[in-house]
Chain A
Amino acid sequence: MAIKSKRYEEARLEASTNLELYWWVFMRISGVVLVFLLIGHMWMNAILIDLNQIDYNYVAKRLSQTTWKVYDWLILALALLHGGNGLRYVLDDWVRHPVRRFWTKVVVYSLIAFLFFLGSLSLFNHDFGVK
């Protein structure tokens, strides 16, 4: 079960498995990193430019630059893991029926895996033909 403790020492005692404790730690580390990555991402694409001008050309150019490939992929991976695990906490809380909870998780995790695959392809395996 998800850890509810508010202190690291208590969390370590409460953790049913080492894996659960690692997830608890991961949520905090990925959270701090994501705060900075996302404020940067939103600032660049909504403040520095008019976001209504975003079109295929803008995206193709961005996805062709190594800096943004790495930056965007970090957001993609960390956000999907952070969000997927957060959703697991919510489902454990809110979907009490075991069978229904199991199948909800199957659907959700599959969707997350698919989007990770799709996003990674567009960042690393597609030539947008921009020099």
Chain B
Amino acid sequence: MYRGREGQWAFYLHRISGLGILVFLMLHVANIASAMWGPEVSNALMKFYHQPVFQIGLLLLIAGVLYHGFNGLRIILMDFTAWGVRYQRQLWYGVWVLFVIFYLPFLLKIGGGILGGGHGD
């Protein structure tokens, strides 16, 4: 349908980011719910997740959420407006503009944390 151009990339990235977010969501719910078992269990798990490698994973996750969300809005515009499909490529570039604007604060804050070495203790 899209013949390997922007639309196809938009589709695959949407799918991969969606799957990634679902995997994170499951780990995240389990991690937060562990608070029901008290501070020892909960704090041990959180300390584990505060390692730099997971911070990088978190940066990837936030990128996934922002892309999936903004591209989802693009899909909705394509679904419910008369012009959305015609301008799907331009809309996709719009998705990336929004992505960069919203991603920068997270990249600076979390990326700075990783480089600054201020993780946990």
B interface, CB within 8 angstroms of A: 15, 18-19, 21-22, 25-26, 29-30, 32-33, 35-36, 38-39, 42-43, 46, 50, 55, 58, 62, 65-66, 69-70, 72-73, 75-76, 78-80, 84-85, 102, 105-106, 109-110, 113, 118-120
> Can you report 13 residue pairs joining A to B where beta carbons are below 8 Å apart?
A31-B76, A46-B106, A47-B105, A47-B109, A52-B119, A56-B38, A56-B39, A59-B32, A83-B25, A87-B22, A115-B29, A115-B30, A119-B32
The smallest C-beta distance from B90 to any residue of chain A, in angstroms, reads 15
Of residues 1 to 60 in A, which have CB atoms within 8 Å of B's CB atoms? Answer: 6-8, 11, 28, 31-32, 34-35, 38-39, 42, 46-47, 50-52, 54-57, 59-60
A interface, CB within 8 angstroms of B: 6-8, 11, 28, 31-32, 34-35, 38-39, 42, 46-47, 50-52, 54-57, 59-60, 63, 76, 79-80, 83-84, 86-87, 90, 111-112, 115, 118-119, 121-122, 126, 128
Task: Please determine whether A122 and B21 come into contact, CB atoms closer than 8 angstroms.
Answer: no
Closest to B108 in A: A47
> Which residues of chain A have C-beta atoms less than 8 A from B109's C-beta?
46-47
A76-B29 CB under 8 A given contacts A6-B85, A52-B50: yes
Task: Please determine whether A35 and B35 come into contact, CB atoms closer than 8 angstroms.
Answer: no
Cα distance A118–B69 in the bound complex, in angstroms = 26
